[in-house]
Amino acid sequence: MTDTGNASAADRTGSVSGESVVFRGGTVLTMDDEHGVLADADVLVTRDRIAAVGQHLPVPDGTTEIDSAGGIVMPGMIDTHRHMWQSAMRGYGADWTLTQYFVWYYLEHGRDFRPEDVFAGNMLSALESLEAGVTTTVDWSHGLQSVDHAEAAVEGLAAVPGRFVLAYGNIQAGPWEWTARPEVQGFLRRLRDAGDDMLGVQLAFDVTGDPSFPEKAAFEVARELGLPVTTHAGVWGATNDDGIRLMHENGFMTPETVYVHAASLSADSYQRIAATGGTISVSTESEQSAGQGYPPTWQVRRHNIPVALSMDTSVWWSGDLFSAMRSTLGADRSREHLEAHAKGATVTHTRLRAEQVVEWATRGGARAIGRDDLGSIEIGKKADLILIKNDDSPVSFPLLNPYGHVAFQAQRGDVHTVVVDGKVVKQAHRLVGADLGRVRAAIGATVDHLRSTMGEPSWLAGMNPDLPAAEEVLDNPYTYTDYKSASTRTARGTVFGEPRSHG
């Protein structure tokens, strides 16, 4: 593979749609400080920036017009934690627990991933982001066993015209070991000094709570290189309050630190995070099914800690922040109801609003990665925008509550247009210029490699974990009841042509 680690934005694929693009007549969620919602409004993009927002905007000759009537124009979403290399194993671990994930990736098969496998997974995941309206993705890249793997990770991202942050990690060595390697530091310096607006860089490692705090050396490297750290914190059975305390006591908790999950922490840890200004990246679908702890927004809100959203890994879930918004609302409200029920009380007014999760998916992510120029639709900001509009879908109307529509009604297939850095990368529901055949072939080769390396029994066992001991079915005193449903219905007519009879 060629080294494209220094690829500039101009080298990337994707359409350059003239100098200007205008979204016409949409409902615009600005996500600015006032959370302005503009009806029948236009957004003009000139080169890589938002040039104007308002009604009936005059635009330069040759501007690409995108009819946004009936749709929602909003900032591109930002996923603050995804192990993009794992997309090569899409869906394989659907029935895993976190323990099974650790065994498979950390202990048994993570080493089998070659640089070309990281390349393939990253390229697929990057396309998956754009397709779902995620314009910036933090690649929590902890499969980087060598700098060759890291080069391949960057190459996979550079093949796709999205915005990314490479969070460099390596689960096959202690963070104090791999961060000390001169070639790793050289790679990180090179990426940092390239100053590529489309590719940020961070360090990604976890803090086990070992009292000798061996991770201190890795934090010192991050500080010396001037790179933020992202860490899985508050993961049941893996990382806990001790890790937070050690980070805090040693002065490594800073506003740019991102705490992923933070799902099994005490109030004391939340207070340390709140006081030092970091962000919590909540991966609700992950926390709900893998077992890191209860999705923490219901607690985090009370500590006033900034929140961002993430999808974690496509080995279980998909890189789709609509799912993240939906599941986060559900988990938060579910907990609020249950906490009230336990006291014999009823929640009559729900606290977490759809508007809030839309903010977490946009501005929350921008804050987490230190990008003030992303996450809202304001003049002068970077033009990372999406249009949610699907005239063929009965779910597209009526559009009454735009935030509620985004959080509970819309889905990735409704993402009509995606603009990143002023370039149209998805248009009329299709990725522009994406060679899916090439990606499919690369992924196929990775799957073949892993499957043959593991052997068929191991491959199948990994995908189909044993069930725990059979669950006893409880006695049911009502099983004698026989329901017969009424079978007559009155047709009011049909929109499919001839009325049909029901029976």
Comparison of 263 and 418: residue with beta carbon closer to Zn ion:
263
What is the torsion angle, in degrees rounded to the nearest 10, for the CA atoms of residue 293, residue 297, residue 300 and residue 301?
-160
- Decide whether 312 or 384 has the Cβ nearer to Zn ion: 312
CA-to-CA dists, residue 476 to 10, 148, 301, 469, angstroms = 66, 60, 41, 21
**Beta-bridge partners for 355:** none
Pairwise CA distance, residues 100 & 334, whole Å: 27
| DSSP bridge partners of 427 | 430
Assigned token pair, 485? 């449903």
Q: Residue 133 and residue 414: Cα distance in Å, rounded? A: 9
CA dihedral 151, 152, 158, 162 (to 10 degrees): -110
Alpha helices by DSSP H, listed for 132-212, are: 147-158, 175-178, 182-194
Residue 67 CB, nearest approach to Zn ion (Å)? 39
Residues 6+ apart with CB under 8 A from 220: none
In the bound state with Zn ion, the residue whose beta carbon lies nearer, of 241 and 312, is: 312
Looking at beta carbons only, is 48 or 312 nearer to Zn ion? Answer: 312
Residue 281: CB minimum distance to Zn ion, A = 9
| Least Cβ distance, residue 167 to Zn ion (angstroms) | 10
Smallest gap from residue 262 Cβ to Zn ion (A) = 12
The length of the chain is 503
**Of 17, 1, 3, 4, the residue nearest 421 (C-alpha):** 17
Minimal distance, residue 312 CB to Zn ion, in Å: 5
Q: Closer to Zn ion by CB, 290 or 388: give it.
A: 290
Rounded to whole angstroms, how far apart are CA atoms 47 and 49? 6
What is the C-alpha separation between 296 and 332, in angstroms, rounded?
A: 8
User: From the CB of 260, what's the least distance to Zn ion, in Å?
Assistant: 6
To which residue do tokens 């009841």 refer? 481
Give the nearest distance from C-beta 101 to Zn ion in angstroms. 9
Report the C-alpha gap between 456 and 109 in whole angstroms.
Answer: 14
Nearer residue to Zn ion within complex by CB, 247 or 424: 247
Taking the least distance from each CB to Zn ion, the nearer of 44 and 204 is 204
CB of 205 to Zn ion, least distance (A): 12
C-alpha dihedral, 1 to 176 to 173 to 265, nearest 10°: -110
Nearer to Zn ion, 128 or 312 (CB): 312
Q: What is the DSSP letter of 243?
A: H
> What is the DSSP-derived secondary structure letter of residue 475?
P
Q: Which residue, 24 or 81, has its beta carbon nearer to Zn ion?
A: 81
DSSP state of 258: E
Least Å distance, CB 236 to Zn ion, is 13
Residue nearest Zn ion, Cβ-based: 312
Kindly tell me which of 102 and 408 has the beta carbon lying closer to Zn ion: 102
Please identify, using beta-carbon distances, which residue of 285 and 312 lies nearer to Zn ion.
312
- Distances in Å between the Cα of 480 and the Cα atoms of 203, 434, 483, 485 are 61, 58, 10, 16
Residues that bind Zn ion (CB under 5 A): 312
Q: How far is the CB of 465 from Zn ion (least distance, A)?
A: 19
117 in Cβ contact with 109 (< 8 Å): no
Query: CB-wise, 108 or 391, nearer to Zn ion?
Result: 108
Measured between alpha carbons, how far is 321 from 327 in angstroms, rounded to an integer?
Answer: 10
Q: Least CB distance from residue 132 to Zn ion, whole Å?
A: 18
Query: 25: exposed, middle or buried (C-beta count within 10 Å: 0-12, 13-18, 19+)?
Result: buried
Is-contact 150 168, C-beta < 8 A?
yes
CA angle 108, 109, 115 (to 5 degrees): 145
CA distance 216 to 503: 71
Residue 132 burial (CB count, 10 A): 25
Exposed, middle or buried by CB within 10 Å (0-12, 13-18, 19+), for 500?
exposed
CB of 81 to Zn ion, least distance (A): 6
| Least distance between Zn ion and beta carbon 400 (Å) | 36
Nearer to Zn ion, 26 or 295 (CB): 295
